[in-house]
């Protein structure tokens, strides 16, 4: 069997169609087909400080602390900080957050100091929050806060 240019072209076109079909069926092309930019993955670490501008004394002023990140009471040694395991945001703004916290703790999801939703963690510490109202388009910085008794853990 010899390879001629027509067979090579048909093979390449067939592979491209198969790859495009798989991407379409899996939903990988949805952000591009709906005219919206692709979703960005949330970072769990704060962004690094930017270097000082040339011509200054070289010092960088620290970023102001937000109320969402400041604990209301000192955390005890047995307090468990809440963690994100899953954060899923759909194109229409619905959001699901799941993770772990201290057992039976009240867990809140925050945007700055605004509480977007809350739940109570189970006896094993697992929780899931589904927002009642979808998020409007825009930039959000979400954080978790948990409360056990009188201890708040950011």
3-state DSSP of 74-121 = CCCCCCCCCEEEEEEECCCCCEEEEEECCCCCEEEEEECCEEEEEEEC
Quick one: tokens of 10? 């048909």
- CATH of the structural domain 83-153, one choice from 2.60.40, 2.30.29, 2.130.10, 1.20.1110: 2.60.40
Q: What integer pLDDT is reported at residue 71 of this predicted model?
A: 47
H/E stretch holding 148 reads strand 142-148
Q: Residue 101's closest CA among 139, 141, 58, 148?
A: 148
Extents of the domains making up the chain: 1-38, 83-153
According to the model, what pLDDT value does residue 54 have?
56
Strands of 126-130's sheet, edge to edge? 83-89, 95-100, 126-130
Query: What pLDDT is attached to residue 56?
Result: 53
What six digits make up the tokens of 101? 């916290």
Tell me, what's the pLDDT at 148? Answer: 79
Model pTM? 0.47
* Residue 90 CA: distances (Å) to CA of 30, 36, 52, 94: 11, 12, 37, 5
- CA 109 from centroid of its chain's CA atoms: 11
pLDDT in tens, the chain (154 residues): 677 888 888 888 888 888 888 877 777 777 667 765 555 555 555 555 655 555 555 554 554 544 444 444 444 445 678 888 888 888 888 888 889 888 888 998 888 888 888 899 899 989 998 887 888 888 888 888 888 776 555 5
- Residue 38 is predicted with a pLDDT of 52
- Residue-level pLDDT at 73: 46
Tokens encoding 88: 């899923």
User: In the Cβ-directed half-sphere of 113, how many Cα atoms lie within 13 Å?
Assistant: 6
Measured CA angle at 151 (ends 145, 154), to 5 deg: 25
Residue 74's Cβ-side half-sphere holds a number of Cα atoms within 13 Å equal to 2
């Amino acid at each position: 069997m010899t390879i001629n240019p027509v067979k090579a072209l048909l093979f390449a076109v067939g592979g491209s169609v198969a790859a495009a079909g798989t991407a379409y069926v899996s939903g990988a092309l949805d952000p591009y087909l709906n005219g919206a930019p692709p979703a960005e993955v949330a970072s769990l670490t704060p962004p690094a400080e930017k270097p000082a501008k040339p011509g200054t004394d070289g010092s960088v002023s620290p970023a102001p602390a937000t109320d969402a990140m400041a604990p209301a009471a000192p955390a005890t040694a047995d307090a468990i900080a809440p963690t994100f395991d899953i954060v899923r945001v759909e194109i229409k703004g619905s959001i699901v957050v799941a993770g772990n916290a201290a057992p039976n703790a009240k867990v809140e999801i925050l945007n700055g100091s605004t509480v977007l939703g809350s739940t109570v963690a189970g006896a094993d510490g697992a929780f899931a929050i589904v927002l009642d109202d979808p998020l409007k388009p825009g930039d959000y910085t979400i954080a978790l806060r948990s409360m056990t008794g009188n201890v708040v853990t950011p």
